[in-house]
Amino acid sequence: MGILSNLEPRHVWEHFENFCNIPHPSHHEEKIAEYIIAQAARHGYTTRKDKVGNVVVDVPATKGYEKSPIIVLQGHMDMVPVAAPGIVHDFLKDPIKVRIDGDFVKATGTTLGADNGIGGALMLGIMDDPNSEHGPIELFFTVNEESGMDGAHGTEAQFIKGRILINLDTEEWGEYYISCAGGGDSNIVMDISTTEHVCACKSGTIKIKVSGLRGGHSGIDINLGLASGNKVLARLLDSAWDTSEFHLKHIKGGNKRNSISDGAEALVCLEHGNAAGFRKAVKDAADILHSEFAKTEPNFSVEILDVEDSTPCVSIENTRKILDLLIALPHGVITMSPEVPGLVETSTNLGIMQSDATTFKTTMLTRSAVTSHLLSVKKQIRTIATLCGASVEEPRGYPGWKPDMDSPLLKIAMDVFQEKYGKKPAVKAIHAGLECGLFSEKLPGVDMLSIGPEMHFVHSPNEELNIPSVPKTYNLLCSIIKAVAERY
């Protein structure tokens, strides 16, 4: 029996725990796809796979609903693989270690993968449920949502027959999402040179390590005032520069472009040997940052360590350029929506930074509900990078999803919620990328809604899935698909 075997509905939690036991980071969804196909085969249901790896399970209508319209239940198969500092976890081989902590399911030392594993488990739960009443269903599982939305990009209109779609990839129970932000990456590369400089520090090298930050989803959590490990480290180093110029030997931070960095570290070699002054400058800057983030980052830690290291030093000139770049690049909320109170309209996330012997790289993800704002911020990033002597690659992005308050699906779903709970659900837009934006282009005439159970801190090792919200989401989903069969 699994750790989650006593939770209800049991068949949903069983699938979720099985998902956790099957490695499925982005670009490696093959085993999850095999599991889904095998589960469909148990019922004798047909499955289809397209050229990019998306999977559809065709679930026939239950008795009396054979002539109802096809409804598509959709989620993605991949997860964001992030381990906490000091945790060794092979996301291609090791299962996620799930545990129950009060009202939450969490992982030990890593992301949980409830984004979007619980969505897939809900879909398979509908397939398994002999009491579920519905018209014909397409269970639509996409690949690589987290690092490029390749599955949604590769979807062809003829692959999906239904034009009523419920996406199961949002993270707030009792709220209906009808719009999302578009997004695009900026991959910045700076060529650097190293020197044979001999460090004047007694121990040779000093390590500055930032840890204990909460991290989080760069769309959903970007407005929570969380610290970025990458920006924090840049401020620490920049503050120390005037006291003691130094050579960078190595710098790294962040795990994923769509995660707020929960830590960062750098190795430095002092130019003139003022180790005491350097340490004091870093400590003073750390005290200021601790004060700034006292409410949002209670576990924030900065360590200053002497270490032995033979890595070549980056030249003083290139070290300063890297610092200038990191200080100048924007991070966090850029603008709030003037139409929707409390909604972030435009933001950007300095997700990953990494240096090696010849290059410094950083990856940013910019989101906006307004395409012109998205392009403007990306142009700002490109300009800053160019002025600092770096080049920028901008892979294809993804569009936003425009709201439709006249949606028949939305009306039915709102009526169902009112009937079940005696109140209307919140109807919202989300400042994160959903595949719905691409489906609105790929599937002409599609009518969409996005729902999901309660989750917090996704894309970070603090990710947690609220247990009581899962049966509520499942029961709501069952009621909506039955109502669609009867009323649409």
Helix, strand, coil percentages (3-state) for the chain, rounded to 5, are 30, 30, 40
Query: Is there a contact between 223 and 267 (Cβ–Cβ < 8 Å)?
Result: no
No. of helices (H) and no. of strands (E), the chain = 11, 25
Query: Is there a contact between 134 and 421 (Cβ–Cβ < 8 Å)?
Result: no
417-448 b/e (C-beta count within 10 Å ≥ 16 → b): beeeeeeebebbbbbbbbbbbbbbebbeebbb
Q: Catalytic one among 14, 78, 150, 454?
A: 78
Nearest Cα to Cα of residue 168 among 407, 396, 461, 478: 478
Give me the residue label for tokens 């707030």: 172
Query: Among this protein's residues, is 271 annotated catalytic?
Result: no
Q: What is the DSSP letter of 66?
A: T
Q: Which residues contact 227 (CB under 8 A, 6 or more apart)?
A: 213, 289, 292, 293, 296, 297, 300
Q: Which residues contact 252 (CB under 8 A, 6 or more apart)?
A: 264, 265, 266, 353, 354, 355
Tallying the residues shown for the chain, one arrives at 488
DSSP labels, 259-320: EE---EEEEEEESS--HHHHHHHHHHHHHHHHHHTTTT-TT-EEEEEEE---PPEEPHHHHH
Query: Among this protein's residues, is 78 annotated catalytic?
Result: yes
Report how far apart, in Å, the C-alpha atoms of 64 and of each of 44, 133, 351 are: 20, 9, 51
Identify the helix (H) or strand (E) that includes residue 36: helix 30-43
Phi, psi of 152, rounded to the nearest 5 degrees: -70, -40
Whether a cis peptide bond, with omega within 30° of 0, leads into 312 is: no
DSSP labels, 410-452: HHHHHHHHHHHHSSPPEEEEESS--THHHHHHHSTT-EEEE--
Q: Catalytic one among 29, 115, 138, 145?
A: 145
CB atoms within 10 A of CB 153: 16
Known catalytic residues? Answer: 78, 145
